[in-house]
């Protein structure tokens, strides 16, 4: 098991994260340029060979999964993405692959870029536009909570735009820290975060 492998200090690349054999990612997709970098995963542009359609592929290297919790987090991230699939303001998951080195999550491509970059580029929003964006973000959070999911990493960098010309085409991404909970119950969080002045300034909306 994954737990047994980690306890014995063996090669983490021998862990089966998905618990099943999958096809080879590269038989179906061509990986392109890097789109983003996170703590565990790197996201690349990928093109489906059979259709020529572009997607985003989050590649999580297994050598970075050094504890049982890390492995469980990846499994839960994939489960939650499937659980939320179909909502217009959540990035859609298409395929998942696993090989000896990594887990690959193929997702909808959101070419509009980060909401954070859009906020910075605009310099400031009118109060009405800021209210519209905030309303969408809050509705996404409410939807997740109604389905028993807590995102736990809400920041403008984790909201991307489907359309670069539409600031309201917002979709939530990165469910790597997300957890399930029972609405009306309680949840014990095993990690915490602090907001420095740097992150506070990055996260706020600039309103004229």
With 90 as the cut, is the pLDDT of residue 144 above it? yes
Q: Both 192 and 171 in a single domain?
A: yes
| 95 among known catalytic residues | no
* DSSP H helical ranges for the chain: 2-8, 25-28, 68-83, 115-122, 127-146, 197-203
Instruction: Assess whether pLDDT exceeds 60 at residue 172.
Output: yes
The annotation status of 68 as a binding-site residue, yes or no, is: no
Q: Residue 1 to residues 37, 68, 79: CA-CA distances in angstroms?
A: 29, 10, 19
Q: What is the pLDDT of residue 123?
A: 80
CATH assignment of the domain containing 151: 1.10.510.10
Residue 35 lies inside a defined structural domain of this protein: yes
Catalytic choice (54, 95, 117, 153): 153
Here the CATH number for the domain that contains residue 26 is 3.30.200.20
Mean pLDDT of 128-140: 95
**Taking residues 29-34, what's their average pLDDT?**
97
Of 92, 107, 122, which residue constitutes the final position of a domain?
Answer: 107
- CA neighbours within 13 Å on the CB side: how many for 11? 5
- Is 121 a domain residue? yes
Residue appearing with tokens 């959101």: 110
Q: In terms of domains, do 84 and 153 share one? A: no
53: containing domain:
2-107
Q: Quick one: what percent of the chain has pLDDT higher than 90? A: 69
Question: pTM for the whole thing?
Answer: 0.82
Domain total in the chain: 2
Instruction: Read off the pLDDT of each residue in 101-115 and give the average, rounded to a whole number.
Output: 96
Nearest CA-CA partner of 208 in 143, 119, 136, 147: 119
Q: What is the mean pLDDT of residues 190-205?
A: 42
Instruction: Give 182's pLDDT tier (boundaries 50, 70, 90).
Output: confident
Give percent of the chain above pLDDT 70: 81
């Amino acid at each position: 098991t994954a737990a047994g492998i980690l306890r014995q200090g063996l090669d983490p690349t021998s862990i089966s994260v998905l618990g099943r054999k999958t096809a080879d990612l590269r038989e179906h997709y061509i990986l392109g340029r890097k789109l983003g970098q996170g703590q565990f995963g790197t996201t690349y542009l990928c093109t489906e060979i059979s259709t020529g359609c572009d997607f985003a592929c989050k590649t999580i290297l297994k050598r970075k999964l050094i504890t049982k919790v890390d492995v469980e987090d990846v499994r839960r991230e994939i489960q939650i993405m499937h659980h939320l699939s179909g909502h217009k303001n959540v990035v859609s998951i298409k395929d998942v692959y696993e090989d000896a080195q990594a887990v690959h999550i193929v997702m909808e491509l959101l070419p509009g870029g980060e909401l954070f970059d859009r906020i910075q580029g605009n310099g400031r929003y009118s109060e009405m536009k800021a209210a519209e964006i905030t309303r969408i973000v809050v509705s996404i959070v409410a939807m997740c909570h109604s389905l028993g999911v807590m995102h736990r990493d809400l920041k403008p960098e984790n909201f991307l735009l489907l359309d670069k010309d539409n600031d309201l085409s917002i979709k939530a991404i990165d469910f790597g820290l997300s957890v399930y909970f029972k609405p009306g119950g309680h949840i014990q969080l095993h990690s915490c975060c602090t907001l420095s002045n740097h992150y506070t300034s990055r996260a706020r909306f600039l309103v004229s």
